[in-house]
Chains A and B, each alone.
Chain A
Amino acid sequence: MSTAPVKIPRWVDVGLIPVINIALAFLVSGVILFAIDVHPLEAVEIILYGAFGYDEALGYTLYYTTNFVFTGLAVAVAFHASLFNIGGEGQAYIGGLGVGLGILALDPYLPFIVILPLAILLSAAFGAAWAAIPAYLQAYRGSHIVITTIMFNFIAAALMVYLMVNVLIQPGSMSPESREFAEAGHLPFMHEVFGWFGVKVTPSPLNLSVVWAAICCLLVWVFIWHTRWGYEIRTVGANETAAVYAGIDPKKVIMLAMCVSGALAGFVGINEVMGVHHRLLLNFTAGYGFTGIAVALMGRNHPVGIVLASLLFGMLYQGGAELAFEEPKVTREMVVTIQGLVILFSGALAYMMKGPVERTYVRIVGMTQRPAAQEG
């Protein structure tokens, strides 16, 4: 206790601990798979091959990754202001509604090149608006953001069902879906984009929004670490009292952080509605908003970490589906269990390994440094 504490380097926290957590999750998954007579290593092989082995699989993996990047960034931005935005699901849903309404209204008249920026703006505006209400309630009325954002997920779902069943449904259609968008409202698939350059790629749902996701990563990095707004957000997140003392208005910061967060979540609508389904439909968010929380936690709220965590979850979604396809014994519930274990270990139990790993690190470093110190 009397010796000066060894400083734990950053790579232990952002690199080593997440890797150990994932390894633990896979270890437990392996035991479960073993218990139902599926060879764990073969399962890993199927997941990896099914997620990265050929161009179609990679397309699907990256398509899921795109969604997780948007929702992961959304959660991360709010988290920097120490706000826990559980409402990514609802914000993504309403963002998609914005995209859909815009395209349904405009696609007969405008060309793609005009619709695209409008659609991006609309998804951001709708998502931000949906996040702004809980933000206002938190900032000015003291209602806890966790509760209000959860409730707004339900309101979003109810609103969408009402609109799809009663207003936007294509007449005569059985399922509550809008009409298909005209060609001008389709975001090109990546296999089409590659086709323009003469490269033949197997069709998959991957579309140009993956590029937008990459741009968003960059923008978020600039926003959080290289602008005054980002500085204010981080200051409020670190210590609200100190922020007030420094002349920052936490109310405005809460509004800003949540609106940016909601806008990012809303971009899921670009990928799903404009990129893949080309129509408005129910449940296109499929839990991506919730998974975004785990992605942000695992990615330590940094764009680079979020991209890596999104890739991991994209792999689990796509490779997991392949596993269920190949192994009759592995049901889709089993795949959800594996995903759940990863979330459990890297989210809920994220800091379980922090103590042991850091103590081990200190011991190792201590052993190697002590002789040097004596010599000096």
Chain B
Amino acid sequence: MLRKVTAAAAALVVSTTLAPLSTVVAAEVNPAVVFDMGGKFDKSFNEGVFNGVERFKKETGVEYREFEVTNETQREQALRRMAQRGANPVIGVGFAQAPALEKVAKEFPKTRFAIIDAVVDLPNVRSIVFKEHEGSFLVGMIAALKSETGKVGFVGGMDIPLIRKFACGYEQGAKYVSKDTEVVQNMTGTTPAAWNDPTRGSELAKSQFDRGVDVIYAAAGGTGVGVYQTAEDSGKLAIGVDSNQNYLHPGTMLTSMLKRVDVAAYKAFKDAHDDNWTSGIQVLGLAQDGVGWALDEYNKDLITNEMRAKVDQAAADIVAGVIDVHDYMASDSCSY
């Protein structure tokens, strides 16, 4: 009898103390994400974030709010509406949202924000940036190690500093393998349409193959699809970007440069959920597994053990600081 009572009392105590706690946690985490113009199904950057937040939803069962902006002004509007609705944390996707997020984060100092690919220096903002040049360096090495002609290619999307950063890292990696490696570079265009122009991607790939290139790295969003297809049709090799795209053309996709925006987005929600939130700048490079290269069942026959050993060694050297990969955006030039 006494045991029953104490058990009941204990249960009561537990429930009364835990109940408010759990409601507090639930009230605190009301995550939201504002996708940028590309939309959440862009097969690339935004979709990476989408996959990350979907994983969070599946694991925790916590729903999130989302919005896809369609013009410049909506960025600020959407972020503010999220904050007004009590969303916390709020993720802004892409560097273009940085000015809007900075403004809104100042207005809502108690709301936690995360921004991917940009730095907003406020106490309630987590800024997540990637060392794309490090990942590109490694796939540049792989390209040069695999190439039989000593010529490797790069097809960029829109000609902006960020893509030049990819190209610069790639070039350094290729030249690291052999100083004589020739790197042929093309940008698809100068307007945002360059992110989704597979036809032009295919043309550029063809012309590079004609010039003796046998591996092409495409950092060009949807344009890459044309590059990969042409590589397969020509019996050459291609390297994917952002997400693991090896599965698209097994035997043709040499590897993919991974940029783990999905992990960044997932972690932002998850940390808030687990009460582990930290603000400040997170630079995700090789050391943090924020970038890397993909090795799976689709490309394992293309990568020899020797190549793998060399690339892993270089990766370790980059992490240890022995190899310093130059960041294009640090100097606005690719001189290293």
Within 8 A of B (CB), among A274-288: 276-277, 281-284, 286-287
B157 to chain A, nearest CB (A): 13
The reply to whether A171 and B332 form a contact with Cβ atoms under 8 Å apart is: yes
In the complex, A174 Cα to B160 Cα: how many Å? 8
B72 touches which of A165, A176, A281, A331 (Cβ 8 Å): A281
Decide if A194 is an interface residue (CB 8 Å cutoff). Answer: no
A332 touches which of B70, B77, B96, B329 (Cβ 8 Å): B70
Contacts of B332 in A (CB 8 A): 171-172
B interface, CB within 8 angstroms of A: 39, 66-68, 70-74, 77-78, 81, 95-96, 98-99, 117-118, 159-162, 190-192, 329, 332
Decide if A162 is an interface residue (CB 8 Å cutoff). Answer: yes
In the complex, A176 Cα to B72 Cα: how many Å? 13
In the complex, A172 Cα to B327 Cα: how many Å? 12
Contacts of B118 in A (CB 8 A): 174
The reply to whether B77 and A60 form a contact with Cβ atoms under 8 Å apart is: yes
Contacts of A336 in B (CB 8 A): 70
Most buried by A among B72, B73, B332: B73
Closest residue on chain B to residue A50 by CB atoms: B81
In the complex, A336 Cα to B39 Cα: how many Å? 13
Contacts of B99 in A (CB 8 A): 177
Q: Mark A317-344, 1 if CB is under 8 A from B, else 0.
A: 0000100110010011001100000000
A328 touches which of B66, B71, B190 (Cβ 8 Å): B66
Closest residue on chain A to residue B37 by CB atoms: A283
A72 to chain B, nearest CB (A): 17
B39 touches which of A177, A325, A332 (Cβ 8 Å): A332
In the complex, A165 Cα to B192 Cα: how many Å? 12
B300 to chain A, nearest CB (A): 36
Q: A321-B70, A321-B74, A328-B66 are in contact. Are A174 and B39 (CB under 8 A)?
A: no
Decide if A68 is an interface residue (CB 8 Å cutoff). Answer: no
Contacts of A321 in B (CB 8 A): 67, 70, 74, 77-78
Closest residue on chain B to residue A180 by CB atoms: B99
Most buried by B among A281, A283, A284, A325: A325
A331 touches which of B68, B117, B190 (Cβ 8 Å): B68
The reply to whether B159 and A165 form a contact with Cβ atoms under 8 Å apart is: yes
Closest residue on chain A to residue B35 by CB atoms: A332
A-B CB contact pairs (8 Å), 27 listed: A60-B73, A60-B77, A63-B73, A158-B191, A161-B191, A165-B159, A165-B190, A174-B118, A174-B161, A174-B162, A174-B329, A175-B95, A175-B98, A176-B160, A281-B72, A283-B72, A287-B71, A321-B74, A321-B77, A321-B78, A324-B67, A324-B68, A325-B81, A328-B66, A332-B70, A335-B70, A336-B70
Contacts of A158 in B (CB 8 A): 190-191
A374 to chain B, nearest CB (A): 60
Contacts of B98 in A (CB 8 A): 174-175
In the complex, A101 Cα to B95 Cα: how many Å? 24
A interface, CB within 8 angstroms of B: 60, 63, 157-158, 161-162, 165, 171-172, 174-177, 205, 272, 276-277, 281-284, 286-287, 321, 324-325, 328, 331-332, 335-336
The reply to whether A175 and B191 form a contact with Cβ atoms under 8 Å apart is: no
In the complex, A294 Cα to B329 Cα: how many Å? 43
B213 to chain A, nearest CB (A): 26
Contacts of A283 in B (CB 8 A): 71-72, 192
The reply to whether A205 and B73 form a contact with Cβ atoms under 8 Å apart is: yes
Contacts of A174 in B (CB 8 A): 95, 98, 117-118, 160-162, 329
A46 to chain B, nearest CB (A): 13
Closest residue on chain A to residue B330 by CB atoms: A172
Contacts of B39 in A (CB 8 A): 332
A226 to chain B, nearest CB (A): 35
Most buried by A among B74, B98, B118, B332: B74
Closest residue on chain A to residue B119 by CB atoms: A174
Contacts of B68 in A (CB 8 A): 324, 331-332
Q: A161-B191, A174-B95 are in contact. Are A286 and B161 (CB under 8 A)?
A: no
B64 to chain A, nearest CB (A): 10
The reply to whether B70 and A286 form a contact with Cβ atoms under 8 Å apart is: yes
Closest residue on chain B to residue A174 by CB atoms: B95
Contacts of A328 in B (CB 8 A): 66
Contacts of B96 in A (CB 8 A): 175
A15 to chain B, nearest CB (A): 31
In the complex, A335 Cα to B67 Cα: how many Å? 12
In the complex, A141 Cα to B70 Cα: how many Å? 38
Closest residue on chain A to residue B73 by CB atoms: A205
In the complex, A283 Cα to B67 Cα: how many Å? 19
The reply to whether A325 and B67 form a contact with Cβ atoms under 8 Å apart is: yes
The reply to whether B70 and A284 form a contact with Cβ atoms under 8 Å apart is: no
Contacts of A175 in B (CB 8 A): 95-96, 98, 160
Most buried by A among B66, B71, B162: B71
Contacts of B95 in A (CB 8 A): 174-175
In the complex, A172 Cα to B159 Cα: how many Å? 15
In the complex, A111 Cα to B161 Cα: how many Å? 34
Closest residue on chain A to residue B71 by CB atoms: A286
Most buried by B among A60, A158, A161, A328: A161
Q: A165-B160, A175-B95, A175-B96 are in contact. Are A157 and B191 (CB under 8 A)?
A: yes
Contacts of A165 in B (CB 8 A): 159-160, 190
In the complex, A339 Cα to B217 Cα: how many Å? 39
In the complex, A177 Cα to B99 Cα: how many Å? 11
In the complex, A177 Cα to B192 Cα: how many Å? 14
B98 to chain A, nearest CB (A): 8
B99 to chain A, nearest CB (A): 8
In the complex, A329 Cα to B159 Cα: how many Å? 35
The reply to whether B72 and A277 form a contact with Cβ atoms under 8 Å apart is: yes
In the complex, A96 Cα to B267 Cα: how many Å? 40
